Chain A
Amino acid sequence: MTGSGWKEIGLAAGLVILAAFVPLVTDGYWLSIAVTAMMYIALATAWTLFSGPTHYISLATGAFFGIGGYLVATGMSDYDISFWVMAAVAPFVAVVLAAIVGAATLRLSGIYFVIFTLGLAEMIRGLVSWVQNNFLGSRGLYVLTDFTEAHIYWMLLIIAAVVYLIGWLIERSRLGFAMKIIGNDEGVAKHLGINTAAAKVALFMITGYFTALVGVVIAPRYSYIEPNLVFSPELSFLVVIMALLGGTQRLWGPIVGVIPFTLIWETISVSFPNATTFYLGLSFLLIVYFIPNGFVGLVEKLARRRQG
Chain B
Amino acid sequence: MNRREVLARLSTGLAVVGTAGLLSFSALAADTIKIGAVAPKTGPLAGGAAVSQWPNIELWAKEVNDRGGLKLKDGQKKVEIIEYDDKTNPGEHIKAAQRLATQDKVDFIIAPYGTGFNVAAAPIYAKYGYPQIAVTSISDQIGELTGRYPGLFFTLGSTTDFVQGVVHVLTGLREKGDIGNKIAMVNVADAFGIELADVARPLFTEAGFEIVYDKSYPLGTPDLSPIIKGAKAANPDAFVAWSYPPDTFGLTEQAIIEDFQVKAFYTAVATAFPAYGGKFGSKINNVLGAGGTNPDDPKIADYRKRHKEVTGKEPDYWASANTYAALEVLAQAIEGVGEADREKVTQYIKDHSFDTVMGELKFENQNSRKYWTVGQWQDGVFRGVDAVNIDGAAPVRVKEGWE
Is A304 at the interface (CB under 8 A from chain B)? no
Bound-complex Cα distance A279 to B16 (A): 11
Inter-subunit contact B95/A29 (CB<8 Å): yes
Is B2 at the interface (CB under 8 A from chain A)? no
Q: Name the residue of chain A whose CB is nearest to the CB of B91.
A: A36
Is B140 at the interface (CB under 8 A from chain A)? yes
Output the residue of B99, B101, B145, B159 with the most chain A CB within 10 A: B99
A residues within 8 A CB of B119?
Answer: 142, 223-224
Inter-subunit contact A222/B219 (CB<8 Å): no
**B69 → A minimal CB distance (Å):** 24
CB interface residues, A 31-51, toward B, < 8 Å: 31-33, 36, 39
Is A275 at the interface (CB under 8 A from chain B)? yes
A residues within 8 A CB of B179?
Answer: none
**A275 → B minimal CB distance (Å):** 7
Inter-subunit contact B21/A271 (CB<8 Å): yes
CB interface residues, B 42-95, toward A, < 8 Å: 42, 44, 83-85, 87, 89-92, 94-95
**B205 → A minimal CB distance (Å):** 15
Interface size on A, residues (CB 8 A): 47
Given known A36-B91, A126-B218, contact A138–B24 (CB-CB < 8 A): no
Stretch in contact with the other chain, from A106-114, A127-135, A175-183, A189-197: A127-135
B residues within 8 A CB of A266?
Answer: 95
Q: Mark A270-308, 1 if CB is under 8 A from B, else 0.
A: 111111110100100010011000000000000000000
Is B120 at the interface (CB under 8 A from chain A)? yes
Inter-subunit contact A138/B120 (CB<8 Å): no
Inter-subunit contact A226/B116 (CB<8 Å): yes
Given known A137-B194, A140-B140, contact A282–B116 (CB-CB < 8 A): no
Contact of A273 among B85, B102, B198 (CB under 8 A): B85
Inter-subunit contact B99/A144 (CB<8 Å): no
A residues within 8 A CB of B148?
Answer: 144
Inter-subunit contact B84/A228 (CB<8 Å): no
Q: Name the residue of chain B whose CB is nearest to the CB of A32.
A: B98
Is B389 at the interface (CB under 8 A from chain A)? no
Output the residue of A130, A134, A226 with the most chain B CB within 10 A: A226
Is B41 at the interface (CB under 8 A from chain A)? yes
Bound-complex Cα distance A277 to B194 (A): 32
**A128 → B minimal CB distance (Å):** 10
Inter-subunit contact B198/A137 (CB<8 Å): yes
A-B contacts, 25 of them at CB < 8 A, read: A29-B95, A130-B218, A133-B194, A133-B197, A140-B159, A140-B191, A141-B191, A142-B141, A144-B144, A148-B123, A223-B120, A223-B122, A224-B119, A225-B116, A228-B190, A229-B89, A269-B95, A270-B99, A274-B85, A275-B24, A276-B41, A276-B42, A276-B85, A282-B20, A289-B13
The residues of A with any CB-CB pair to B shorter than 8 Å are 28-29, 31-33, 36, 39, 126, 129-130, 132-134, 137-142, 144, 148, 218, 221-229, 232, 266, 269-277, 279, 282, 286, 289-290
